[in-house]
Amino acid sequence: MFLPFIFSCLLVFAQQSHDSCGTWRWKVKTLTDSAGSALLSAKPVPTTIDQLIIVKTPKVLRAISHSDGQLPRYPRENQVVEISAYVIEVKNEDDHDLHFVLKSLTSDSTMVGEIPDPSCPDYNGFPALRAYFQKIREDGMKVWDALKTNKKPVKVKITGVPFWDGAHSSRPIGASRYFREIHPILTIGIQ
């Protein structure tokens, strides 16, 4: 009698952990919104971290309500950029994103770049996107391995979609002043 109870508790926990991917503007972050898949074929615009992080948010973004988290893609999030940067830290986020702290090549400015987890349920209806991000995660892991092995910043070239994250109660490591990120990273390679 006790064993079935433990099994059902473990099953609920496993389902919760699998479904515990992000919620904040998640369709925009994962390219599963109506405009997202078109960005995969967009021509990247060369820029720098220093140029990206000075652009102010289109309006105040807060992470205090469910409706805030459903804000649509802004026009400046409907483009693909290409940057070179140093990766100075990588970690797995609670929402299963692969979180990169990116540092400018010419200043101390930083911003966040993230690769979503392709096993998140949002990709169930998007098998091509799931396969795409699986490959990008593998490339991201190569960068993380190089960072751990060399114990010094790794210079990379990244293409990705600029995104404004919501204001957090505490500033995430590497976050830029206006919470602008590259989310998702579409390509990443060591230079």
**Domain membership flag for residue 3:** no
Structural domain contains residue 176 = yes
Farthest CA pair distance, the chain: 64
- Of 20-24, 42-46, 80-84, 105-109, the range with the lowest mean pLDDT is 20-24
Convert the pLDDT of each residue in 108-127 to its tens digit. 999 999 999 999 998 999 99
Distance between CA atoms of residues 177 and 160, nearest Å: 19
Domain containing 115: what range? Answer: 22-190
Q: Are 69 and 82 in contact (CB under 8 A)?
A: no
Helix (H) or strand (E) holding 145: helix 127-150
The CATH number of residue 54's host domain is: 2.40.50.140
How far apart CA 8 and CA 14 sit, in angstroms, is 10
Report the number of distinct structural domains present in the chain.
1
172 or 75, which is more confident? Answer: 75
Q: Tell me what pLDDT residue 3 has.
A: 36
In a domain, 122, yes or no: yes
Residue 11 lies in a domain: no
Residue 54 covered by a domain: yes
The pLDDT score that the predictor gives to residue 73 is: 87
Return the percentage of the chain with pLDDT > 70, whole number. Answer: 82
- Residue 139 phi/psi, 5° resolution? -65, -40
Which pLDDT score, from 0 to 100, does residue 22 have? 82
In this predicted structure, what is the pLDDT of residue 57?
82
Find the angle CA(53)-CA(58)-CA(63) to the nearest 5 degrees.
Answer: 90
User: Mean of the pLDDT values across residues 45-60?
Assistant: 90
pLDDT at 148: 96
Place of tokens 């102010």: 56
Residue 21 has pLDDT above 60, yes or no: yes
